[in-house]
Structure 1
Amino acid sequence: MELLLTLSLLLFAIIAISFTLNYILTPKINNEKDEKPNNLPPGSSGWPLIGETLEYFSKLKDCIPEQFATERMKKYSTKVFRTNIIGQPTVILAGVEGNKFLFSNENKLVQAWWPATIDKIFPKSSKKTTREEFIKVRKMLHSFLKADGLQKYVEIMDLVMRESLERDWKGKKEVLAGEVVKKYTFGLACRVVLGIDDSEKLEKLAKPTEDIAKGSVSIPINFPGTALYQAIKSSKVMRIEIEEMIRKRKIEIAEKVEQKKNVLSTLLLASDENSQFMNEEDISSHIAGLLHAGFDTLNSPLSFIMKYLVEYPDIYQKVLNEQMEVAKLKAPKDLLNWDDAKRMKYSWSFVCEVLRLMPPGPGAFREAITDFNYGGYFIPKGWKLHWMAHITHKNPDHFPDPEKFDPSRFEGNGPAPYTYVPFGAGPRMCPGNEYARLVLLVFIHHMVLNFSWEKLISNEKIVSDPIPRLTKGFPIRLHPKYL
């Protein structure tokens, strides 16, 4: 075990150093002055080159990233401090005020920032960055992703979950739940994003998606044998498959073949403010990115939903009772709909508590697009800012006894604004949050009505890289119900 821990920390060290070298060797796009103002936020730049990256990744790996922040908040400031991680001078705005400031100043003082590896995995034909392209696609998909646009997809989610039950759950005594939920989330993402359910095509796309997931958080060195190299290679394979689908879909649209609404068709028919349509290569790259996002960030919550349901039998019973009430209103073969999802109030409170303790990511980064002041301190243009969901999620002032699992926190009016941020908050809320809500609720509905289960590993280790996961894939023994 000690050897495995040492190897894991070594891997994080390699990642940290590689990110740092990648940053140093990359030409700077901003004109930072050599002289630093005297009123920078308090903090430390850590070791030369690697800064405080090793400690940050170590805490993240152990699923306690809030400790990285709270230790420095006690030492420097409870509001704001500076550090240096992944080769970037970084400011962490702590707490509710920091969250509100960052989410309210998107594209005013700050903008979204991703490591350069993302542009390599999902290349675009133009000179525009991933951030600029993301903004454009978000506008195009606004009507698709908002609540009204997603209502008709509840039935599709239900249908895909029923197929998953028959194929991967029923008739099995033991399953590796973490692997089975991957099939469900990927199959659903392909149905919603591409409008396909062809098993052969799904198989062609599934392996590249897993390679991309590994490469997006890997050592940023593009060399044969590295995860990034494989991710770039797999992304190309995936985009070729998607471009073939695009050409066929274009013919169907031209011939006015009836189209079921999906992301691919939406992007093909959408134009920007200059009435320009995206080319096939860019659409395929965006689609690959959406499949990755819709697949990777939902697997973790689904696994932890099953973990917490089996660990808290009283909560499982409350969820089951609610889902039985929903089922009573349906004929046996009726698919779930939007109104059914709205009735799952306790189940959603349960999910929110899962996401409070195990958010699908540690937070995100922003980049200062101009010099500005925050809390009396100077933030230089080009510096990175990092918001961390765990800082408020684990703060006893906002969530008393924060390590206790308690869905009642989300009943009634729920937490105060900007304290609960697994999907961001305010004007910068993740556009896929409503999609995620529906996917998770549909999954819960069918699982608790069809099964109870028991863990085969009593204390399975949890790590985060950077999405939290159960290291053994959460093996369980199923106990089917005969309704």
Structure 2
Amino acid sequence: MELLQGFLSTTFEFQLPFLVTVFVTLGAFYRGYAKFKTASLQGRNLPPGSLGFPVIGESIGFVSAMKKNNRREWVERRIRKYGPLFKTSLMGSHVVILTGQAGNKLIFSANDAIRSNQTMSTAAIFGKHSIFELEGSRHKLLRSVMMNYLKPDNLQKYVVQMNSIVKQQMLQELQGKDSVQFVPLIKKVTFDISCSILFGLPEGMEKDILFHDSDIAITGSWALPLDIPGTPFRKA
């Protein structure tokens, strides 16, 4: 027993200086990083806001709000504090969030004055040729093709098909159940409608596999860009 106590005492005495060194090093790193970022942002006409912690920024709070379906509240808290235009740091990238009708009008009428700059996770998963990364004439061309399906005349052609898909999904999900989760159901219905109308995919295993893969990709795009086994980003 005395031998064990002596061993534990010796181990603790050995670990204590090591732990102190680690905490001091991390503290110095944090202060140095904060000074570097502050100096690099000085002189720029940036909106108010908080960049949060180094690297991770405010990602943890944002992802937590997403999981609880409180994303709107997360944004509104910062609007009350900083105004409709504020900066933050999400998924390893510094971003500016522009809210309200005036903000939407500016984005959609700015033509080539505003360049796309997605988070590191989104850019890595969806690639440089996705609609999120395209700019200028190429982005306009792809967006016009997609918006063509949303014109009133075209939507009228697909109403019957959409109605059939919604009914089929509702009956399938409610079979043998008293209740269903609404948000996952709406995601599945929206995905099925998109696959059927835009790509002409029939019902079956192929569509189910595609939905599963797309869900993993979307989850990874809202995760920290950590390419480590087991992380959502690595899975995507």
* TM-score between both structures, scaled by the size of structure 2: 0.61
Structure 1 pair 58–72 and aligned structure 2 pair: CA distance change class (3 A): farther
Structure 2 gaps, min length 5: 1-32, 34-38
Contact 1:46-1:52 within 8 A present in 2 as well: yes
CA displacement 1:99-149 (0-9 Å, x = unmatched): 4434432422x233322333433336x799833365442133342232222
Structure 1 pair 136–230 and aligned structure 2 pair: CA distance change class (3 A): farther
Structure 1 pair 222–87 and aligned structure 2 pair: CA distance change class (3 A): closer
CA displacement 1:168-205 (0-9 Å, x = unmatched): 33x63513234544543333222112212242322332
1:130 aligns with 2:136: no
Instruction: Give, as a single letter, the amino acid of the residue that structure 2 aligns with 1:213.
Output: I
Q: 1:36 aligns with which of 28, 31, 42?
A: 42
Q: How far did 1:69 drift?
A: 1.4
Q: 2: CA distance between counterparts of 1:129 and 1:183?
A: 22
Aligned-partner SS, 1:157: helix
Structure 1 pair 196–98 and aligned structure 2 pair: CA distance change class (3 A): closer
Instruction: Give, as a single letter, the amino acid of the residue that structure 1 aligns with 2:115.
Output: Q
Q: 2: CA distance between counterparts of 1:60 and 1:217?
A: 9
Contact 1:81-1:92 within 8 A present in 2 as well: yes
Aligned-partner SS, 1:101: helix
Structure 1 gaps, min length 5: 1-23, 25-32, 232-483
Q: How far did 1:214 drift?
A: 2.1
Contact 1:113-1:131 within 8 A present in 2 as well: no
Aligned-partner SS, 2:116: strand
Structure 1 pair 146–51 and aligned structure 2 pair: CA distance change class (3 A): same
Q: How does 1:105-184 map to 2 (within 5 A)?
A: 105-108=110-113, 110-123=114-127, 130-132=133-135, 134-169=139-174, 172-178=176-182, 179-184=184-189
Q: How far did 1:48 drift?
A: 4.4
The sequence identity of aligned pairs, in percent, is 28
Q: Going by fraction, where is helix more abundant, 1 or 2?
A: 2
Q: 1: CA distance between counterparts of 2:212 and 2:196?
A: 17
Q: How far did 1:223 drift?
A: 3.5
Q: 1: CA distance between counterparts of 2:147 and 2:133?
A: 18
Q: How far did 1:156 drift?
A: 0.7
Larger radius of gyration: 2
Q: How far did 1:158 drift?
A: 1.4
State the Cα RMSD in Å. Answer: 3.8
* Counterpart for residue 209 of structure 1: 214
Q: How far did 1:84 drift?
A: 4.1
Q: How does 1:462-477 map to 2 (within 5 A)?
A: none
Q: How far did 1:154 drift?
A: 0.6
Instruction: Give, as a single letter, the amino acid of the residue that structure 1 aligns with 2:78.
Output: A
* Counterpart for residue 72 of structure 1: 81
Q: How far did 1:92 drift?
A: 4.1
Structure 1 pair 41–160 and aligned structure 2 pair: CA distance change class (3 A): closer
Q: 2: CA distance between counterparts of 1:50 and 1:94?
A: 23
Greater relative contact order: 1 or 2 (C-alpha under 8 angstroms, separation 6 or more)?
Answer: 1
Contact 2:118-2:132 within 8 A present in 1 as well: no
Aligned-partner SS, 2:75: helix
Instruction: Give, as a single letter, the amino acid of the residue that structure 2 aligns with 1:37.
Output: G
* Counterpart for residue 229 of structure 2: 224
Structure 1 pair 58–165 and aligned structure 2 pair: CA distance change class (3 A): closer
Q: 2: CA distance between counterparts of 1:229 and 1:86?
A: 14
CA displacement 1:275-321 (0-9 Å, x = unmatched): xxxxxxxxxxxxxxxxxxxxxxxxxxxxxxxxxxxxxxxxxxxxxxx
Q: 2: CA distance between counterparts of 1:180 and 1:116?
A: 29
Moved more, 143-152 or 64-73: 64-73
CA displacement 1:54-94 (0-9 Å, x = unmatched): 55555555511134313423xxxx46444444444444445
Moved more, 144-153 or 129-138: 129-138
Q: Going by fraction, where is strand more abundant, 1 or 2?
A: 1
Aligned-partner SS, 2:223: coil
* TM-score between both structures, scaled by the size of structure 1: 0.33
Q: 1: CA distance between counterparts of 2:75 and 2:131?
A: 34
Contact 2:125-2:221 within 8 A present in 1 as well: yes
